[in-house]
Every structure is written in structure tokens, then in C-alpha cells.
Amino acid sequence: MRRTSVVLAVLSVVILVSATACSHDATNPQRGSTSEGGETSMVETPREHLVVLASEQADAALVDIEAMAPVTQLLRPRLLLVVADPDAREDIRRIPGVLGVYGTAPDREPLGLSPEEQLFVDAWAARRAPKTRPGEGSNWDTPGFEPPDIPGR
């Protein structure tokens, strides 16, 4: 009986470790893989990009873009954020009415961004900037800071 319990416990651990490894492989597409020739390749994970459209072609371009990549945010008529891998990003660039696909904030002047559009772009760029928060990494009872309220009081 004791031997059976030990075998079942070991088997459970093996299954748990295998399941964790499999799920990690499925959710980590940037992990290197080895081809038949023994070469290691890296797959770039999809990233969020800013897409700038020409006003007169924006509606038609948006329909084509939505068919290729998920749109996460939209400021009509000209700006949208999409999550795209390199292949989709290149396909989006070729759509009529797309003025540009950017991984970082573009210059305002060549695109003729309105103040509202520039605010959208600035907010998108700020999301990716490193944050500095007062007391970051400090203990909760660090002098000069108040500890959080105790729940239920």
C-alpha cells in the first residue's frame, strides 16, 4: 500500500511538471526552436503598433486591418493600435490608405497630427516608458509613508 502511494505521488509530480512545461511552450512563442538542420531560430512575439491612416481611406483600411490583426484601441478616423507580428505588420503597411505602422511614437510634423491625435500618440508612448513611483520597493512601514488600511476597519 505504501509503495503504491509513493508511485502515485511521483507520477503526479511527473504529470504536473510535464503539463507546466507544455503550457509554457504554448504561451512562450519567443522561445528558441531547433530546425532539422540544427539551427536555432527565435520567433518574434506580436507587439502593439500604432497605425496612421489617410483620412479619406480610413474606413476601408480599417476593415482590411481588422481582418489581419486585433485592434486594441481606435481614435477615429486616423489612428489605431494593433497587436501584430512582423508578417502582419508588413501586410498592414501595404494596405491602401495606411500612412505608417510604428513601434515607437512617430514625429508629429510629417503626419500632420492634430492636438487630439498627438495626445493619443503621447499617451501610447507613455504607457511603455519606465515608471518611477515614490517609495517603489520600500517596506510598508518606511518612515514618511503611510501603510495601507487594514481590510475591514
Q: How far is CA 95 from the centre of its chain?
A: 23
User: Does residue 78 register a pLDDT over 90?
Assistant: yes
Nearest CA to 89 among 65, 113, 110, 111? 65
- Cell numbers for 92: 498592414
- pLDDT at site 32: 46
- pLDDT at site 50: 94
Nearest CA to 48 among 128, 109, 119? 128
| pLDDT classification of 5: cutoffs 50, 70, 90 | low
User: Does residue 116 register a pLDDT over 90?
Assistant: yes
Q: What is the pTM of this model?
A: 0.60
Please report, for residues 122, 124, 125, 127, the alpha-carbon distance to residue 107 in angstroms, rounded to integers and kept in the order given: 11, 14, 12, 17
d(CA 105, CA 72): 16
Q: Where are the domains of the chain?
A: 47-128
10 Å CB burial of residue 102 (0-12, 13-18, 19+) is: middle
CA angle (123 as vertex; 29, 128 as ends), nearest 5: 35
Query: What CATH topology corresponds to 47-128?
Result: Alpha-Beta Plaits (3.30.70)
- pLDDT at site 147: 73
The residue with greater pLDDT, 76 or 21, is 76
Backbone angles phi, psi at 112, to 5 degrees: 60, 45
Long-range contacts of 110-119 (CB under 8 A, 24+ apart): 111/52, 116/75, 117/75, 117/78, 117/79
Mean pLDDT of all residues in 93-115: 88
The residue with greater pLDDT, 18 or 141, is 141
Least confident of 54-68, 79-93, 103-117: 103-117
